[in-house]
Amino acid sequence: MISQDTLLAQEECFGRAFAAGDPAIARDLYEPNVVYVSPTVRLFGWPAEIDGVERTLEFIALTIRDCPDIRYEAVEHALTARRDAAFVRVRFDWTQGTERLRSTYVVVYRYRDARIARQELYYDPSAAPERL
């Protein structure tokens, strides 16, 4: 089970990790055998489900390598009644050339022993990012 404070601290950690361009900063948030699911995998030819913390961090690093000046912000969140899962709506901003872009998506986290056991991202990967 997780608390509201734990969820907010988790999202702040992700914010720091993305701002630094180093997903490994968030390593301790994950179970060693985490399962990561994202529609972005198809863009890189990766499997539909990524198993393990090392591969998860490797994939996240791959997806952000060309995204300088990232700002990750959890703008809405909710815990399930059992507090074993959470939903977070994220604004993910970055710079591309001279433009500032934004992707908004939802993440579903499922926990085991207060660490992320499964992370699922939901968004339309064919939609163009918002131009700020």
**Confidence tier at 25 by pLDDT (50, 70, 90):** very high
Q: Where are the domains of the chain?
A: 4-131
- What secondary structure letter does DSSP report for 128? P
CA distance 25 to 45: 25
Instruction: Please work out, in degrees rounded to the nearest 5, the angle formed at the alpha carbon of residue 50 by the alpha carbons of 45 and 51.
Output: 145
Residues 37-82: tens digit of each pLDDT: 999 998 899 999 999 999 999 999 999 999 999 999 999 999 999 9
**Confidence tier at 27 by pLDDT (50, 70, 90):** very high
Fold of 4-131: Nuclear Transport Factor 2; Chain: A, (3.10.450)
